[in-house]
Amino acid sequence: MAGVKLYVGIWLALVVATIIEVVASSLPGSSSLIVTIIMLVASAKAIVIALYYQHLRYEGIRVAVMPLAAIVALGILAVTAIVSLGM
């Protein structure tokens, strides 16, 4: 079982990641690259919260399989909807 130090350390990392996102949003350069970086950081933050604060790291795949399947289904929905625009 994780301890207080780990939880506080994760919180610090999440705050730092938030600051990185904000800084990245104000950088000049390719907007698609910046968007990619920001969304990757956002996804990493979500994964860290799920793994440590929601204890998915300790629950294993038997619990993670449900939210993962939901994310895959959503991916299919979002990609299909956007690709169907034919843009």
Partner 1 sequence: MYRGFSIKQWLTTTNHKRVGILYIVTSICFFIIGGAIAGLIRVQLTTPSGSLLDPFNYGQAVTLHGLVMILWFLSPLAVGLANYFVPLQIGAKDLAFPRLNAASYWLYLFSGLLLVGSVFLPGGGPDTGWTLYAPLNTIQFTPQPGATLAALALAMLAASVTGSSVNFITTIVRNRAKGMTWSRLPVFTWSMLMTNALMLFAFPPLAAGLVMLTTDRVLGTVFFSSIQGGSILWDQLFWFFGHPEVYIVALPAIGIIAEVIVTFTKRPLFAKKVFVAEMAAVTFLSVGVWVHHMFMTGISFDVREVFSFTTMAISVPFEGLVINLVLTLRKSSIRLTTPMLYALGAIFFVILGGITGIFQAFVVLDYAFRGSYWVVGHFHYVMVGTTIFALIAALYYWWPKITKKTYNEKFGKLTFYLSFIGFNLLYFPYFFLLDMPRRISAYPANPEWVPMNLAATIGAIIFGPAILLTFINLVRSYRKGKTSQPNPWGSEETEWTGNYSASAPSPSMPMVTVDPSNKQQTNETSEKEDMNGEKGKSTFMPAVIAAGTALLLLGIAAYPPVLIAGLIVIALAFLKVFKDGTEEKFAEFKETLHEKWPAESLSKEKLGMWIFLTSEILLFGSLIAAYLYVRVSSPTWPIATQTHDVTIGTANTIILLTSSLAMILAFYSIKTGNSTGLKIGLGCTFALGLAFLNLKLGFEWPDLLRKGFTIDSGLPGSSYFVLTGAHAVHVAVGLAAVGYLMVRAFKGGFTSEKHSAVENIGLYWHFVDIIWMFLFPLFYLI
The CB-of-8 to partner 1 minimum distance in angstroms stands at 7
26 Cβ neighbours under 8 A, 6+ residues apart:
none
Coil/strand/helix, residue 32: helix
Exposed/middle/buried for residue 17 (C-beta within 10 Å: 0-12, 13-18, 19+)? middle
Q: Should residue 28 be labelled a site residue for partner 1 when binding is judged by CB under 8 A?
A: no
Phi and psi, residue 39, nearest 5°: -70, -30
The CB-of-36 to partner 1 minimum distance in angstroms stands at 10
Q: Which residues bind partner 1 (CB under 8 A)?
A: 1-4, 7-8, 10-11, 14-15, 18-19, 21-22, 24-26, 31, 34-35, 38-39, 41-42, 45-46, 49-50, 52-54, 59, 62-63, 66-67, 69-71, 73-74, 76-78, 80-87
